[in-house]
Amino acid sequence: MGSPDIGSGRKGVAGALQRSNGYTFESRIRFSEVDHTNRITLPGIINYFQDCSTFHSESLGVGLAYCKEHKSAWVLSAWQVVADRYPAMGEKVRVSTWATGFDGLYGTRNFCMEDEEGRMAAYANSVWVFMNTEKGRPARPDAYEVGLYGVGEPLAMDYEPRKIKLPGETKPCREYPVRRYHIDTNEHVNNSQYVQMAMEELEGTEEIRRLRVEYKKSAVYGDIIYPKAAFEEDRTVIELCDESGGIYAVVEMK
């Protein structure tokens, strides 16, 4: 599979993915997924990507029920998301994902969202850790599962490090109690909810084009999240922490 071109108005990877081990589904941007600009939100794009990876696992027979039975899970460690544009309400989109590599306890996965004409709207890289949920620690994935996913060629994008450099100075922001609607099937705060919390510290006029998230530990129902913000010249960094300063997630927005 050849490396796809990345960029606004360029052709995407739908045709290539149909010949790979990836997964693609088509959808239409819903009214419930847009904000006051009539366009999908950044957490909305992330939810499409998450859903696509879940559908991929379900289609291979190693989805939620399989993981529960085998006391295992792929846990997201880091996101790098690029939004060239935010599709509007009613637009038809094609969302695709494929694994790009496995190395010990880690797996990497690419995503893309294309419009009806095959132009790239958003794309992402992600890093996952395979976990033994019974022991609560990382484990080496079974060769059977790795073989099911296969490996496709990575997107031709500028790959950032998994770890985000923390700012020197931050200011405290209002805290957030973890509500029931923040929780997913793993009984943890869903990945996109951390991004939503971080975006609450913005003025609301910024259009995020580049996002990175580093997940450090899971928040659960009843926790209180204490954000700390740094507004630098070329980026905004939000640290989502517990009461003692331990970090749940670091979100970098440009």
Q: Which CATH architecture has domain 171-253?
A: Roll (3.10)
**Radius of gyration over every alpha carbon of the chain, rounded to an integer in angstroms:** 18
pLDDT score of 12 more than 90:
no
pLDDT grade for 206, boundaries at 50, 70 and 90: confident
Residue 35 CB-density burial (10 A; 0-12 exposed, 13-18 middle, 19+ buried): middle
Cα 62 from Cα 75, distance rounded (Å): 14
For domain 14-149, which CATH number applies: 3.10.129.10, 3.30.450.20, 3.30.1330.40, 3.40.50.720?
3.10.129.10
Indicate whether 5 pLDDT > 50. no
CB atoms within 10 A of CB 242: 14
**Those residues with Cβ within 8 angstroms of residue 74's Cβ, 6 or more apart along the chain or in another chain:** 57, 67, 107, 128, 129, 130, 131, 141
Domain with CATH 3.10.129.10 in the chain: 14-149, 171-253
Determine how many CB atoms are found less than 10 A away from the CB of residue 19: 9
Q: Look at residue 205 and tell me whether its pLDDT is greater than 70.
A: no
Reported as a pLDDT band with limits 50, 70 and 90, residue 20 is low
**Does residue 18 register a pLDDT over 50?**
no
Q: Across residues 170-199, what is the average pLDDT?
A: 94
Lowest mean pLDDT among 22-26, 41-45, 107-111, 142-146: 142-146
Asked whether the beta carbons of 236 and 202 are under 8 A apart, the reply is yes
What's the sign of the alpha-carbon dihedral 135, 138, 139, 142?
positive
Give the mean model confidence (pLDDT) for residues 59-83.
95
First-last CA distance in the chain: 31
Residues forming beta bridges with residue 97, ordered by sequence position: 23, 111
Decide: helix, strand or coil at residue 199. Answer: helix
For 132-167, how does the pLDDT look when each residue is reduced to its tens digit (9 = 90+)? Answer: 999 999 999 989 989 999 999 999 999 999 999 999
Q: What is the rounded distance in angstroms from the CA atom of residue 43 to the CA atom of residue 33?
A: 9
pLDDT-based confidence at 186, cuts 50/70/90? confident
Is the model's pLDDT at 111 over the cut of 90?
yes
Q: What is the pLDDT of residues 232-253, one digit of tens each?
A: 999 999 999 999 999 999 999 9
